[in-house]
Amino acid sequence: MSRPRPPRLRRRSRLRGSSEFRMRSGFVLIAIVLSFFAARLVQLQGLDPEQYAEMAAAEGSVTVLLPAERGDILDRNGEPLADSADGLMVVADPTMTAAKAPEVAKFLAGRLGVDYFRTLERLRVEDSRFQYIARQVPARIANEVLSDARELAADATEDAEQAKQDGDEEARDEFEAVADAYGGLATRRDPVRFYPARDVAANLVGFLGTPNPDGSAKPSAGFEATFNTHLAGTDGEARYQVGAGNKLPLGDNTVVGAVDGQDLTTTIDRDLQWFTQRVLRQTVRQAGGDSGVAVVMDSRTGDVLALADDPTYDASRPLDYDKDDYKSRAMTDVYEPGSVQKVLTLSALIDAGKVTARTKLRVPGSLDRQDRSIGDWFDHGLIRLTLAGVLAKSSNIGTVLAADKFEDGQLRDYLTRFGLGQRTNIGVGGETAGLLPDPSMWTSQTQDRIAFGQSVSVNAVQMAAAVNTIANGGVRVDPSLILGSAVTEDGDEVGTDVATTRRVVSAEAARQTALMMERVIDPEIAIAPGAAVPGYRVAGKTGTAQRAGLGGYDGTFTVSFAGFAPADDPRFTIYVVVQNPRNGGGGGSVAGPAFSKLMGYALRRYAVPPTGTPASRLPVEW
């Protein structure tokens, strides 16, 4: 009789069978699930990717602006004239803000000063997840606004929760909409432009105005406008798709990085510019003038170290000033140069071999010429002057008599080589070319007047560069405001790297002219002793010219002084012009002292020693 199997063993066998069954079932289930995911993955990635990308796009596309940082505008020593600091843009997600757009727009308009209606429109833009509200907001202000918006959103969320507990569904929905609307505000990096030097070189630097409709910076004047492409760089953008508020990995996600703008280094010396502006302002005020300009140039290189305009403005708050003050009058305003022109006329005569500094002239008290009688600024009978005396005493009659020695067309050719009638293309927008009459309009009467500074017009930098030709040994060098080179919005490359030179008069003609100009400052001659700089030899020339108005001269005057020092080894050329002084002063008494202050400061600042040589003693009479 067989022995029965113990129950325990039979139970273990049943358990073993059950466990194996469950294990097999689990493997089958896992295989099924994996097969499902694999099939789904094949479908998404291989069979119909475009369909699912479209589904993702249907959920929403977000494009985020990545602003480029604008390049700095610097002086020659790297000191900032225009700079960019950390800032933020305030942006909105219209899918969240649209329902409560009026309330949010009122909040933003009050806190950021943005236009209410334009903001309202942006808060309601359809099919958009990104709209800028305000650009280039100082970080402190933007963060305060966003913090307050988050508090309002948090308060609305608490109110919604309370309404839910109270069973007030309508109130809950209202509060949730408010919370979403304020929660739809955010900030992004957006550098802020500022002008640490304030009014220093503001007429050159310019400023950024109200942003363009697309939020980009809008240059409104000066270098900011002239070199906008160079400074601005290129904004980038990040684009991605979202669904149910989350970024979709299978959507179209692209990032185009921003390209920051390039710095613009000028030839300006910020400290010298500051001093020049203060001296010019004082000069214009004391003379009761309408306006003034002052130019300080490096005689050897043509670098413009200071270019001052008065009136000017504070570039950090331009809206507080008259729009006429935004321009650089030194480049945009034209005027007759008056007797400073005699420097060009007489140096050309010497170069042409017609005269020397010692040429003797008999100068009557008046000179009848064709359509008019020419006189001098001082009354006199017949006087005997050398050419040096003609310049030193600023005789119109003596200049005309000397200019009679020119051949036809010769004076105009020289003035063209000096740069008159042509833009300097220095990089300042709105520059005028001045007026040098066409050869077809050049008559003997025209030449008489042009010889001593009438019937020709110039801008201040143009005339400074012409006088600087004498300081530079007869070689004209293009004036420059940009160190290196940069391309303007008109496509012109400007700067020291592309500046050209050309010989206008011989070195000997320039030397003789400089010696004649020294006699203008000599206290024994007493034409412009106020322009002297103690310890240095100074060469210069006064200018007083009638100002042209509608229908002729209007009875007001332009007074000026141009010169260089040290006279026998020039380092700086300075030109000061004041329009319509009401104190009765002329070029020597109004502009001469300003020249002296500016030249003395420049020579000390750049540690230029006196040459120690004796001043010119050319005879002025015979």
Tell me the pLDDT tens digit for each residue of 12-50. 444 445 556 566 666 656 666 556 555 555 554 554 545
More confident residue, 366 or 555: 366
Tell me the pLDDT tens digit for each residue of 410-460. 999 999 999 999 999 999 988 999 999 999 999 999 999 999 999 999 999
β-bridge pairing 80-85 and 73-74:
antiparallel
Q: What is the pLDDT of residue 372?
A: 83
CA distance 134 to 387: 66
Q: What is the pLDDT of residue 13?
A: 43
More confident residue, 466 or 208: 466
Half-sphere exposure at residue 306, Cβ-oriented, CA atoms within 13 angstroms: 30
Mean of pLDDT values over 361-375? 89
More confident residue, 58 or 332: 332
pTM of full prediction above 0.85 = no
Mean of pLDDT values over 89-101? 91
For residue 239, pLDDT over 80 is answered with: no
Average pLDDT of the chain, as a whole number: 87
Percent of the chain with pLDDT over 70: 86
Mean of pLDDT values over 100-116? 92
The model's confidence at residue 512, banded by pLDDT at 50, 70 and 90, is very high
- Assign 279 to helix, strand or coil: helix
Tell me the pLDDT tens digit for each residue of 279-303. 999 999 999 999 999 999 999 999 9
For residue 154, pLDDT over 80 is answered with: yes
Mean of pLDDT values over 498-515? 97
Q: What is the pLDDT of residue 260?
A: 85
Q: What is the pLDDT of residue 25?
A: 62
Smallest CA-to-CA distance from 297 within 595, 593, 530, 587 is with 595
The burial of 26, by beta-carbon neighbours within 10 Å (0-12 exposed, 13-18 middle, 19 or more buried), is given as exposed
Mean of pLDDT values over 576-595? 94
Tell me the pLDDT tens digit for each residue of 255-276. 877 788 899 999 999 999 999 9
Q: What is the pLDDT of residue 54?
A: 45
β-bridge pairing 73-74 and 264-265:
parallel
Mean of pLDDT values over 368-384? 89
Average the pLDDT over each of 241-250, 506-515, 549-558 and give the range with the smallest value. Answer: 241-250
CA distance 574 to 521: 14
The model's confidence at residue 97, banded by pLDDT at 50, 70 and 90, is very high
Q: What is the pLDDT of residue 212?
A: 66
Q: What is the pLDDT of residue 34?
A: 59
Side chain identity at residue 294, one-letter code: A
Q: What is the pLDDT of residue 336?
A: 95
Mean of pLDDT values over 174-197? 88
The model's confidence at residue 497, banded by pLDDT at 50, 70 and 90, is very high
**Separation in Å, CA 446 to CA 434, 455, 619:** 16, 7, 30
CA distance 598 to 608: 14
Half-sphere exposure at residue 245, Cβ-oriented, CA atoms within 13 angstroms: 4
CA distance 65 to 256: 10
Mean of pLDDT values over 567-581? 97
Q: What is the pLDDT of residue 51?
A: 47
Smallest CA-to-CA distance from 424 within 471, 497, 479, 477 is with 479
Q: What is the pLDDT of residue 12?
A: 40
Q: What is the pLDDT of residue 193?
A: 85
Q: What is the pLDDT of residue 316?
A: 86
CA distance 306 to 300: 15
